């Protein structure tokens, strides 16, 4: 129809991991991204772009319709008030911590749809004032082994169930209150920061998902749906929900560009 323009595909910014280790040819400070994240966004209808920590987050948000906070190394314990670093802690990047915490605040202030995965969930919680369990086996009695690679379970397979709050956004998205998920973490959310709402737990009580009621879309999961989306529709649905939430922002941005 004349005068009607299709809504552009939402542009989703994805946070990469950062490594300062020396590599071939003297390369350092490289950005690393598991391709599964980008594939999951593209498969759901979005346009994935990687966010290097070289600009203020607000600058990036001018060109983005959604955010995907990815997994990776541990957050520096001092950022959530822990006085010591557990020996199992790995992969701390001050640059990444600072950028992602600032990105969370900017995204929430602008009501930009946000999906947080594994470390991303922990970043979201820490950014809002919450705390973390530094090493699950040391702090939770009868804890599950949340590192399924140590159990010989393939990366593309679920490892344990989670119980989901029935009236939650997560339950509406996945269509169930019981879901099998994978598991690749030794840390977890301890004290959940307001305004986050606990929406899923593992059998040992570990917090597996949280969301912000009233936001356009803020959802965090401790598992890795990007490794499951191709074969498990409920996990694909998480990315589809992010893209759906980002569509209205994409339409608004397109309208502004057209008026210019």
Instruction: Look at the alpha carbons of 173, 118, 155, 66 in this order and tell me if their dihedral is positive or negative.
Output: positive
121-177: per-residue pLDDT in tens? 999 999 999 999 999 999 998 889 999 999 999 988 999 999 999 999 999 999 999
23-67: per-residue pLDDT in tens? 555 677 889 999 999 999 999 999 999 999 999 999 999 999 999
Determine the Cα–Cα distance for residues 43 and 46; give it in Å rounded to an integer.
Answer: 7
- What residue ranges do the domains of the chain occupy? 11-259
Q: Which pLDDT does position 160 carry in this prediction?
A: 96
Determine the Cα–Cα distance for residues 217 and 134; give it in Å rounded to an integer.
Answer: 28
Is residue 157 part of the annotated active site? The answer reads no
Q: Which pLDDT does position 257 carry in this prediction?
A: 56
Catalytic residue among 226, 235, 236, 244: 226
Q: Which pLDDT does position 162 carry in this prediction?
A: 99
Residue 204 has pLDDT above 80, yes or no: yes
Is residue 118 part of the annotated active site? The answer reads yes
Residue 1 has pLDDT above 50, yes or no: no
What average pLDDT is seen over the chain? 93
Topology given in CATH for the domain delimited by 11-259: Rossmann fold (3.40.50)
Give the SS3 label for residue 34.
Answer: coil
Mean pLDDT of 236-251: 96
Determine the Cα–Cα distance for residues 113 and 99; give it in Å rounded to an integer.
Answer: 18
Is residue 56 part of the annotated active site? The answer reads no
Catalytic residue among 160, 185, 224, 236: 224
Q: What percent of the chain has pLDDT over 90?
A: 85
Contact partners, residue 213, CB within 8 Å, separation at least 6: 169, 195, 197
Catalytic residue among 100, 118, 208, 244: 118
Helices (H), 12-93: 35-43, 57-61
Chain position carrying tokens 């930009």:
112
Q: Which pLDDT does position 24 carry in this prediction?
A: 57
């Amino acid at each position: 129809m004349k005068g009607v323009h299709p809504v552009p595909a939402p542009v989703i910014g994805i946070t990469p991991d950062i490594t300062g280790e020396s590599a071939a040819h003297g390369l350092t400070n490289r950005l690393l991204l598991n391709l599964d994240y980008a594939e999951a966004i593209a498969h759901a209808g979005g346009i994935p772009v990687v966010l290097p920590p070289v600009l203020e987050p607000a600058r990036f948000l001018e060109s983005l319709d959604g955010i995907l906070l990815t997994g990776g190394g541990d957050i520096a314990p001092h950022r959530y008030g822990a006085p010591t670093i557990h020996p199992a802690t790995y992969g701390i990047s001050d640059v990444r911590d600072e950028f992602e915490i600032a990105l969370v605040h900017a995204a929430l202030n602008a009501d930009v749809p946000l999906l947080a995965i594994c470390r991303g969930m922990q970043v979201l919680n820490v950014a809002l004032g919450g705390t973390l369990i530094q090493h699950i086996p040391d702090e939770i009695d009868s804890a599950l082994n949340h590192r399924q690679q140590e159990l010989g379970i393939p990366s593309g397979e679920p490892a344990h169930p989670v119980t989901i709050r029935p009236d939650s956004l997560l339950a509406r998205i996945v269509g169930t209150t019981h879901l099998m998920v994978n598991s690749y973490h030794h840390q977890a959310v301890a004290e959940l920061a307001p305004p986050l709402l606990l929406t899923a737990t593992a059998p040992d009580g570990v917090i597996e998902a949280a969301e912000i009621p009233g936001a356009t879309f803020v959802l965090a999961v401790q598992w890795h749906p990007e490794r499951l989306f191709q074969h498990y529709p409920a996990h694909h649905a998480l990315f589809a929900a992010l893209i759906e939430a980002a569509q209205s922002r994409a339409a608004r941005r397109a309208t502004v560009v057209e008026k210019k």
